[in-house]
Structure 1
C-alpha cells in the first residue's frame, strides 16, 4: 500500500475505533459524575464573579458582555489540561488577560491520553510507515469530541450558577453570554447561556421565526413574547432558550430542538410532531393537549463517524402539565416526575429510559412492556 493508503487504513481501522471507545467511557463517566463536577464548577464561578464585580467597582471592566471558559492549549500540551475563566466587555474582547481562575479538566483529557496511548501501540505495528509527529499534528485538531464534555458540564452548571448572588450582581451588557472554547479563538467557542435584554416585539419575533432561516436561531434567547399559532415547521432551534413565551397552538412539526429550553412557557395545543427533541427541556411548562407524536428524544445516541454522543439528560418534563398531551409512536426517554399526566396518550411509544413517579403507575395507561422500560421513583419527601 502507498503511504496515504496506509494512513487512511490506520485512521479508519485503529484510530477511530479507539477514539470512540474512549468517548463512550468518558460519556459514561460524565453521566455518573456530573453532579460532582457541578460541585467543582459552581464555587469556582462564585469566586470568579466576585472578582469581576471588584474589577467593575475599580473601573477596570465596564459592563460584562461575555464570560469565556477557555482551554489553554499550551498548558494542555504541557500535560496540564486546564480551562481559564475570563470576562470581557463589548469593546474589550481582544484585550482579555490571563486570570488565576482555572479549572482542572483532567477527568476529560485522561481519556484523550488513553486514546493517544492506544493509538501509539497500534502505530508501532506499521514499522515506521506512520511517523509519530504526523499523528501528533493530526491529533491536535481532533480533540473536540473530548472538549465537548466541558461544554456539557458548564451548560449543565449554568442552572445553578445563574442563581448565585455574585453572578446576578455582575453589571451585564444588554447582550450577555457565557461561552466555552479555546483561549484567543472565540470563533470556535460555543454559547452555553445567553441573555438578550433587547427583545423583539411579539409581532417582529414571530415573523423572524416564521422565516425559518438556516442557522439563525441557534443559541438565541427569546423572552416574554406571544408567538401563538405560528408556523415554525422544520425550524432549527438547537440550544435556543424560550423564557416565559406563549406558544399556544404553534406548529413545530419536523423541527430540530437539540438541547432547546422552554422555561415556564405556555405551549398548550402546540404541535411538535416528528421533531428531534434530544435533551430538550420543558420543565414547568403548560403542555395541555400538546402533540409529541413520533418525536425522537432518545438518550445516548452515538454518531461514531464524529465521536459524538447526544442525549445526556433525556427530555425533561418535570412539573409540566401534560394533561391530554399525545406521545403516539414517539421514541422518547423523558423525565415525567412531578408532571400532570391525566389522559396523556402514550399509545405505541417507546419510553425506554423514562422516569415516572410511582404514584402515577396506574394513573397512566401503559402496556406491560412500556411499564417495564420505565424507572419508577418515589415521590421526594418534603420536610
Structure 2
C-alpha cells in the first residue's frame, strides 16, 4: 500500500481503537480521583493568586483581566506535562510584566505518552512506509481529547477556587476572564467576573431575543430576572448563580455547562432543555419542571465533553420538582438535596445514588 493508504489503515485500525481505550481509562480515573485533582488545581490557583498579589503590592502588576491555563503540544510530545499559568492585565499578550507559574497535568498526559509509545510500536508493522513523524502528527491532533479532562477539572473547581481569600485580594480589571486552551491559540472561558453588575433590563432583552444568535459564557450572577420566557436559545456555560429567576421558563434551550448555584428558580421550567454538566448546587428549585430535559453526554471519536462533570443538584431544594421523561440523566448527583414529592422515573431508582430519606420522599413514576 502507498503512504496515504497506510496512514488511513493505521488511523482506523490502530489510532482510533487505542484513542478510545485511553479515553475510557482516563474517564474512569477522572471520576475515581476527581476530588484530588480538584484539590491540586485549587492549590495551583491559590499559589498563582498569591504571586499576583505580591507583584501588585510591589507595584509590578496592573489589575488582572486574564488568567490563562495553557498547554503546548510540542512540550507534551517531549513529555513535559506542565500547563503554563499566566496572569495578564487588560493589555493581554502585550502585558510586559511577566506573571507566570505552572500547573502539573501529568495525571492526564502520561496517557498521551503511553498511547504515543504504543503507536510507535504499531508503526513498525508497516515496513518503513510510515515514519515516527507521521505518528507524532497524529498525536498532536489528539491533544484536545486529553485537554478536555483538564478543562473539566477546572470547571468543577473554579467556583470554589474564586472564593479563596488569595483570589479575592488581588486587584481585578472591570472584567476578568479565567480561560484555558492552547498557548496563544484557541481557548475558552472557565469563569467570568464583572466588577460592575450588568443592567438586568438589558440582560433580559438579550435573553428573550428570538434570533438564533447564541448568548454564551456570560456572567449573569446576582441579577433579578424573575419570570423570564426563553425559548430555543443557546445559553451554554452562562453563570446564573445567586440570581432571582423565580417562575422563569427555559424551554428547549441549550444549557450545557450552565451555573445556577444558590439561584432562586422556584416554579421555573427547563422543559426539553439540554442540561449536560449543569450545576444547580444549593439552588431553590421547588416545583421546577424538568420534563423532557436531557443530560446526554457526548461520546464520539474521543470526545467526552460535555458529560464528564455530570449534572449536580447537591444540597438543592427539589421539593415537588418534576423529572418525568428526562433522559441521559445517568451522571447526576443529589447529595443533601431535599426531594419531598419530587417526581422521578422509576428507571433511575437504582441508578441514582440517593439516601434512604430521598428514596422514601420521591414519588416514583412508571
Q: TM-score scaled to structure 1, two decimals?
A: 0.87
Judge conservation of contact 2:38–2:153 (CA < 8 Å) in 1: yes
Judge conservation of contact 1:249–1:267 (CA < 8 Å) in 2: yes
Instruction: Measure the CA separation in 2 of the matches of 1:163 and 1:353.
Output: 33
Secondary structure (helix, strand or coil) at the match of 1:69 reads strand
Q: Could you give the per-residue CA deviations for residues 269-322 of structure 1, whole angstroms, max 9, x where no partner exists?
A: 222112111121111222122111121225xx3523243354223221122222
Secondary structure (helix, strand or coil) at the match of 1:222 reads coil
Aligned ranges 1:51-90 → 2 under 5 Å: 51-90=51-90
Deviation at 1:327, TM superposition (A): 0.7
The yes-or-no answer on 1:118 pairing with 2:118 is: yes
Deviation at 1:201, TM superposition (A): 2.0
Judge conservation of contact 2:342–2:361 (CA < 8 Å) in 1: no
Instruction: Identify the residue that residue 91 of structure 1 maps to in structure 2.
Output: 91
Instruction: Identify the residue that residue 205 of structure 2 maps to in structure 1.
Output: 207
Secondary structure (helix, strand or coil) at the match of 1:137 reads helix
Instruction: Identify the residue that residue 21 of structure 1 maps to in structure 2.
Output: 21
Judge conservation of contact 1:86–1:97 (CA < 8 Å) in 2: no
Aligned Cα root-mean-square deviation (Å): 2.3
Judge conservation of contact 1:270–1:291 (CA < 8 Å) in 2: yes
Judge conservation of contact 1:330–1:348 (CA < 8 Å) in 2: no
The yes-or-no answer on 1:217 pairing with 2:226 is: no
Query: Structure 1 regions of 5+ residues with no counterpart?
Result: 371-383
User: CA 1:32–1:97 in structure 2 vs 1: closer, same or farther (change >3 Å)?
Assistant: farther
Instruction: Identify the residue that residue 324 of structure 2 maps to in structure 1.
Output: 328
Q: 1:265 aligns with which of 263, 266, 271?
A: 263
The yes-or-no answer on 1:10 pairing with 2:22 is: no
Aligned ranges 1:94-173 → 2 under 5 Å: 94-95=94-95, 101-173=101-173
Secondary structure (helix, strand or coil) at the match of 2:229 reads coil
Instruction: Identify the residue that residue 247 of structure 1 maps to in structure 2.
Output: 245
Deviation at 1:184, TM superposition (A): 2.8
Q: 2:311 aligns with which of 286, 311, 315?
A: 315
Instruction: Measure the CA separation in 2 of the matches of 1:5 and 1:328.
Output: 50
Count of residues in correspondence between the two structures: 364
Instruction: Measure the CA separation in 1 of the matches of 2:90 and 2:251.
Output: 37
Deviation at 1:98, TM superposition (A): 6.0
Aligned ranges 1:291-302 → 2 under 5 Å: 291-298=289-296, 301-302=297-298
Q: TM-score scaled to structure 2, two decimals?
A: 0.91
Is the deviation greater in 84-93 or in 308-317?
308-317
Secondary structure (helix, strand or coil) at the match of 2:65 reads strand
Is the deviation greater in 322-331 or in 222-231?
222-231
Secondary structure (helix, strand or coil) at the match of 2:4 reads helix
Instruction: Measure the CA separation in 1 of the matches of 2:198 and 2:209.
Output: 15
Q: Could you give the per-residue CA deviations for residues 136-193 of structure 1, whole angstroms, max 9, x where no partner exists?
A: 22321321010121111222221332121111100111111211123333xx112111
Judge conservation of contact 2:156–2:309 (CA < 8 Å) in 1: no
Instruction: Measure the CA separation in 2 of the matches of 1:351 and 1:94.
Output: 55
Instruction: Measure the CA separation in 2 of the matches of 1:353 and 1:94.
Output: 51
The yes-or-no answer on 1:280 pairing with 2:278 is: yes
Instruction: Measure the CA separation in 1 of the matches of 2:205 and 2:350.
Output: 38
User: CA 1:308–1:322 in structure 2 vs 1: closer, same or farther (change >3 Å)?
Assistant: closer
Instruction: Measure the CA separation in 2 of the matches of 1:36 and 1:206.
Output: 39
Instruction: Measure the CA separation in 2 of the matches of 1:214 and 1:6.
Output: 43
Instruction: Measure the CA separation in 2 of the matches of 1:285 and 1:82.
Output: 36
**Divergent runs of 4+, >6 A:** none
Instruction: Measure the CA separation in 2 of the matches of 1:179 and 1:96.
Output: 19
Instruction: Identify the residue that residue 34 of structure 1 maps to in structure 2.
Output: 34
Instruction: Measure the CA separation in 1 of the matches of 2:210 and 2:107.
Output: 39
Instruction: Measure the CA separation in 2 of the matches of 1:212 and 1:171.
Output: 38
Deviation at 1:135, TM superposition (A): 2.6
